[in-house]
Structure 1
Amino acid sequence: DAFGGAASSSSSNSSDKKSSDKASPSDRGPGVLLGGVVHRDAAVNLRLLESSYRNLPQPGDGVWTRRRRERPPAPTPASYPAREPPVLENPALFERLDADALFFTFYYQQGTSQQYLAARELKRANWRFHKKHATWFARQEEPKRSTEEYEQGSYIYFDFAMSGGPGGDGSKGGGAPGGWCQRSKADFMFEYSQLESEMQ
């Protein structure tokens, strides 16, 4: 009947309106889920995208670098020298230092001119720096075997850390316990690619 038809039509229109209201949020475009809330405002989404872009991971983020720690300032008396004595910049001083003093300067004055001068004197004394082990080596005798890529024989090396030195396979950890002393290593293969040649 007419009443029933009107009621049916009204019910249908009401149902269509509700379904339209439910569907309207999805018609506004994709949203961004943040904190359990879906943000569909274009301005909010743009700010979120800009923030994400500014914080993109960089290729170097996974690379750890060894940064030098600056010592905190400490109160000192007026009689304490405020700068290094000029004699420490004199190359003639390093020519008179023994090997232990040169090793100490090299490992504990990193990034300074004193480190460079100590390295130069060690090289003049026939010590050679191994880049992989970060250790100074010197021949004990003429190499038993020598090629264009490496030489092999008996060496002495300076164990600067409180641990064992290079192992028989070229890795660390094969030496005796202790440290800060010269040790002997027989049948060691010194690859020329690991030789530091920049220090003159």
Structure 2
Amino acid sequence: MGKEQDQPSLNTTKPESEQTDMDRYGLNGLLSLVRGEQSDQNTVALGTDLNFLGLDLSSRTDGVKLSKTFASPWIETSRSEVEPQFKTPEEFHISDVSKLEEKLTLFTDETLFYIFYTRPRDVLQELSARELMNRNWRFHKGLSLWLTKDQSVEPIQQDAQSERGVYIFFDPHNWERVKKEFILQYASIVA
């Protein structure tokens, strides 16, 4: 008898006005929720059996979807793909598309510069850089600019690592070609 009197009684509930947050949302609140003493909170916390709402959720309906459009309330965070509810018509399938590398050869230098500067860290940036290099443009690593030799003036070799000449630079800020006399260090260009 003595031990039972030392333990607090679980049947004692305080009136609503005297309950603290710990009484409502702590273990005491959980106990009243599990017992089903508060039907409104019990319905919200534990949910409702969908069989009572008229949905047949027995094992014989495993392949039946409840909704065609509502996959899950957590669909935005789900990693599984949802099957689309459409089929692409055969006439929309394209198979005879030429490779992108072949198309880039048809573009002007300015278009290739545009692709290079607007697609950082993209395959298109690399492909446009390759095409510019095929057209004798070189990228200067220190200046972060494209340059090419002026065909009318032959550069003069200064030493084994550099040459002096007239070069045409492409200025991406003003979007124009600028002709300058320049000493080119071979190590500073991407070959």
Q: Shorter-normalised TM-score: what interval?
A: 0.3 to 0.5
Which structure carries more relative contact order (alpha carbon 8 Å, separation 6+)? 1
- TM-score (structure 2 length as normaliser): 0.46
- TM-score (structure 1 length as normaliser): 0.44
